[in-house]
Structure 1
Amino acid sequence: MWFFIQAALYDNNITFSTLGPPKFIDRQEVPNVPLNAPKPVIGLDASTKVATDAFDDLEPEMIYLPLSAYSHYRLRGRSQNYPLLYEYFDINPYSGKLETSRRVSDLSMLEIVTGSMRPLHTGDFVGLSLKLVYFFFGILLSMMIFSGMMIWTKRTYKSTQTLLSRSTKAPSKTTKPEPSV
């Protein structure tokens, strides 16, 4: 039901996000280099280390490269305290400074509930072991559906056979109208 409500709100451009507008690097901070020369940026390992040094409970999962000269490295990871939601960190690729962080504690309660629905539904927050548990119970539920269909089919078949056998054994009564005097 929640996914239906969420889709209806999304289609009507209603959001619960408290994120705000995206942040960009100031023009003065972008190094001015010749056209074909590489920009002096920090490496991916160094940018990941900046975020993990600032937040020791962070387990980084993905890093997005800057889309332009004015955008940040964006690191996505999960906290060990609340593994259902991703946390995002923007790191300046030129200075290596952690510009912004979006942690679970920064989210509203409605954002936490909304963001937690998909991982709880699919089991995508602990790892392969939990996915296998979800798979096992999914198979079990599917088998219950098929066993219910088999029971219903057998019961319907038996009652149909009983009904048909009664109709073939019953003598047909053809009565002639009695002459009226």
Structure 2
Amino acid sequence: MLKLSNRFWFVLHGWLSLPVWLLFCFVCLTGTIAVFSHELTWLTNAAARANNPDNLPAMSASLLVEKVQQAHPTADVGTVMVFEPYLVNAVVFTDHDKPQAIAYVNQYSGEIQSVEQGITFIGFMRALHGWLMFPWHGSYSIGYYLVSGMAVLMLGSLVTGLVVYKHFWRAFTQPKVRTGQGQRTLLADLHRLAGVWSIWFLLVMSLTGLWYLIQAIFWHADIDIEPHPPLVSAAQLPQPQTEIPIPPVSFQQALDKVQQLYPDFSPSYLHLPEHNRDMYILSGGGDHVFYDQYAYQASINPWTGEIASSRSPEQMTMLQTLTYIADPLHYGTIGGIWTKAIWFVFGLVLTGMSITGFMMWGRRTFKHATKVKQAVDIGEQGETA
């Protein structure tokens, strides 16, 4: 009877690990595409383009909300999302015949170019890369754990690769790619060369990925990194009436309040009150390069106009700072289109490294399995003789 050696189980374990490497490659590839998700949206969806042939100034988000409410009188607007200047603003609303819809409103002309229902390409790529489209069960998603857990694999690959590749720094000054010594040698040279030149990128992706993993654990454990925006005090609400009262503070007045608080405020995610005790929660970017477009936030009481809470980089704790600098570093948005192009190129390199690494592992595993089989066959032939 054939006895299975420890080596056989090691090889089998390697083959069973194949899905992990496929997942890693998929995460790298989708992340690379996600870097240019806004640009790809502009390229593939004409309704998302903010054409401005007359060089008009951008309208206030409150005017865009009015445009949507004029076109859909029974609509209940909940959110306004502001993207790059070349993309339209997205006004999210509900209506009697639309559980949730997004109006693409040109911020220069005020024209509603399209009303979409369903996920956008930007949202799709974010969900595909971030949590593999797995559903969220309350405060956690298995897909989010799977993706962020890849950071441990990436960091381990980086450390072990540098240990195995002696004098790796020579690849900076003496790059070596041998094309005439077979496929195995070529793959190994390309893999090592790409790895050395991508050390900084691997480190950035690993560290930001580890933070996403820690963040997921916090969410799952109901540990708040920052306090939730406050609710309007019941004492500040008007007396009960037969009709639903309209808050005296308009959306535009709330925007003006935030602009006075943060002169460099650039709106990005603007939440309108959903009920009488809800507030205007206005988030945006500012003059800090390494912070994302949600780093500045203010909650405006719609009944009194007071600023109930605020947040800026100067007020953040260490964990909050990590939260708001992780995305710009992970997706390369810190320097606009140029840094996004660099992140895109190195994302392709990282995807290629995962493929070449798997190809080399597969060749070694297949070669060893063939030798084991040949040895077993020879042994069986000897026993028969």
TM superposition score category, shorter chain reference: 0.5 to 0.7
CA–CA separation in structure 2 for the residues paired with 1:150 and 1:46? 60
| 1:83 aligned counterpart, secondary structure | coil
The percentage of counterpart residues that share the same residue type is 28
Q: CA RMSD in A?
A: 4.0
**1:22 is paired with a residue of what secondary structure?**
coil
Select the structure of larger CA radius of gyration. Answer: 1
Distance 1:72 1:159, change over 3 A: closer
Cα distance change of structure 1 residues 27 and 15 upon mapping to structure 2, 3 Å threshold: closer
Q: Residue by residue, what CA displacement relative to the aligned partner does 1:59-103 show, whole Å, maximum 9, x if unpaired? A: 111211113212211101122125235222011223433332122
Listed as ranges, the gaps of 5+ residues in structure 1 are 162-181
Whether contact under 8 Å (1:47, 1:91) holds in the other structure is yes
Alignment correspondent of 1:120: 329
- In the TM superposition, what is the alpha-carbon distance from 1:6 to its structure 2 partner? 3.5
SS in 2 for 1:3: helix
1:62 and 2:269 equivalent? Answer: yes
Q: Partners of 1:155 and 1:31 in 2: how far apart?
A: 75
Q: Which residue of 2 aligns with 1:41?
A: 248
Secondary structure of 2:303's match? coil
8 Å contact from structure 1 (residues 74, 89) kept in 2: yes
Partner Cα separation in structure 1 for residue 278 and residue 225 of structure 2: 24
Within the candidate set 79, 90, 95, 2:299 is matched to: 90
Asked if 1:27 corresponds to 2:199, the answer is no
Aligned mates of 1:20, 1:141 — CA distance in 2: 37
* TM-score in terms of structure 2 length: 0.35
CA 1:132/1:35 → structure 2, altered by over 3 Å: closer, same or farther?
farther
Counterpart-to-counterpart distance in 2, 1:126 and 1:26: 45
Shift, 1:56, TM fit: 0.6
Partner of 2:312 in structure 1? 103
More helix by share: 2
Unaligned runs of 5+ residues in structure 2 are 1-209, 371-385
Counterpart of 2:299 in 1: which secondary structure? strand
Which residue is 1:142 aligned to? Answer: 351
SS at match of 1:89: strand
Distance 2:233 2:240 in 1: 16
Q: Does structure 1 conserve the Cα–Cα contact (< 8 Å) formed by 2:238 and 2:245?
A: no
TM-score (norm 1): 0.66
Q: Is the 8 A contact 2:230 2:308 kept in 1?
A: no
Whether the aligned pair in 1 keeps the contact of 2:284 and 2:295 (CA below 8 Å) is yes
Aligned residue pair count: 170
Cα pair distance change 1:106/1:23, threshold 3 Å: farther
Residue 157 of structure 1, CA deviation: 8.1
8 Å CA contact 1:27, 1:70 repeated in 2: no
Note closer, same or farther for the CA distance 1:94–1:128 as it changes in structure 2 (3 Å cut).
Answer: farther
Q: Do 2:285 and 2:291's aligned partners in 1 also have CA atoms closer than 8 Å? A: yes
Report how far residue 21 of structure 1 moved: 7.3
Instruction: Quote the Cα distance in structure 2 between the aligned partners of 1:54 and 1:131.
Output: 31
The answer to whether the aligner puts 1:72 opposite 2:279 as a matched pair is yes
